[in-house]
Structure 1
Amino acid sequence: MIQAYIGIGSNLENPIAQLDRAIETLKKHDDINHFRVSSIYGSKPVGPQDQPDYINAAATFTTKLSPIALLDLLQSIEQAQRRVRERHWGPRTLDLDLLLYGQEQIQLPRLTVPHTFMLERGFVIKPLSDLAPDMLLANGKTVIEQLHQLDTSDLVFIKEE
């Protein structure tokens, strides 16, 4: 079994309900165990600012799914919740990103793990710090040390899961 971490985000069609639905779907999946989710935070969008603010969380679980099978599962949940990819960093009903898959480093056409921009984004690292503050990241820092390097002034606590 591998410990996986995902980022969960939404800024369309009742974002909190979108996160809740995705979380429930993942919790019920046969190949996902020991599921835990962070608190939920609000943040300004990355990229185009002509869109609503985002709601973000992180989750962790163990799985026997391969990285690509897990990516396929995450993308199928996005599709079930009517995700449309209209523009890069545009608005979305649901965004499920595979952040970490054990200690593996993966470079494939469809998947890069650790997630390419996770170390730069407070809306990823803050929820991750709720789950694993002392986890060592690929850059040699713990999650909490990385959090202290980021500007998180735009993050707003929404609710505890």
Structure 2
Amino acid sequence: MTRAYLGIGSNIGDTKKHIEDSIEMLRNNKKIEVIKISSKYETEPIGYTDQDWFLNVVVEIKTELEPYELLKYCNYIEDELKRKRIIRWGPRTIDVDVLLYGDYTSDDEKLTIPHPRMTERAFVMIPLYEIAKDIKVNGEDIKTIVDRLEDQEIKKL
């Protein structure tokens, strides 16, 4: 089993339910074990800012799925919860991203691990730090990364 971290976010409809439903779908997969779930955080949108704030969590899992299989399952969850890809960084019912997957790295266009831009986003790094205080991302201590993001607005619920 490989330890992986997923970022989950929503800003359309019942955001709390969308996140809970996505976590339940992870739990229902026999090849995934949910280990930890961060607190929920409200965060301002990045990129396309004319939209509601997001609700975000990070989930630690152990999985037998290979990286591309895990990505495929994350996409399945998004499809089941009616995610529409209309505007880049736009509103969504759910977003399930593979942030880290063991020691695996990839620069593939379909799957980049560690997730690109994750170290620039408080809505990923702060919940990740909450559940994994000792990890490194791209060889850098997570606490150092989090300290750089203190200017981004984020509210722990």
Q: TM-score, normalised by structure 2?
A: 0.96
**How high is the sequence identity, in percent, across the aligned residues?**
35
Query: For structure 2, which runs of at least 5 residues remain unmatched after alignment?
Result: none
Tell me how far 1:35 sits from its aligned partner.
Answer: 2.5
Q: Which residue of 1 aligns with 2:39?
A: 39
Tell me how far 1:143 sits from its aligned partner.
Answer: 1.5
Task: State how 1:22-101 maps to structure 2 within 5 Å.
Answer: 22-101=22-101
Q: What CA deviation, in whole Å up to 9, does each residue of 1:112-145 have, x standing for no partner?
A: 000001000000000001111111221x322122
Distance 1:53 1:65, change over 3 A: same
Tell me how far 1:76 sits from its aligned partner.
Answer: 0.3
Q: Distance in 2 between matches of 1:152 and 1:36?
A: 26
Q: Distance in 2 between matches of 1:8 and 1:95?
A: 5
How many residues in Structure 1 have an aligned counterpart in Structure 2?
A: 157
Q: Distance in 2 between matches of 1:51 and 1:59?
A: 24
Task: State how 1:112-127 maps to structure 2 within 5 Å.
Answer: 112-127=112-127
Tell me whether 88-97 or 144-153 shows the greater mean CA deviation: 144-153
Query: For structure 1, which runs of at least 5 residues remain unmatched after alignment?
Result: none
Q: TM-score, normalised by structure 1?
A: 0.93
RMSD: 1.1
Q: Give the letter aligned to residue 153 of structure 2.
A: D
Q: Which runs of 4+ in 1 moved over 2 A?
A: none
2:148 maps to 1:149? yes
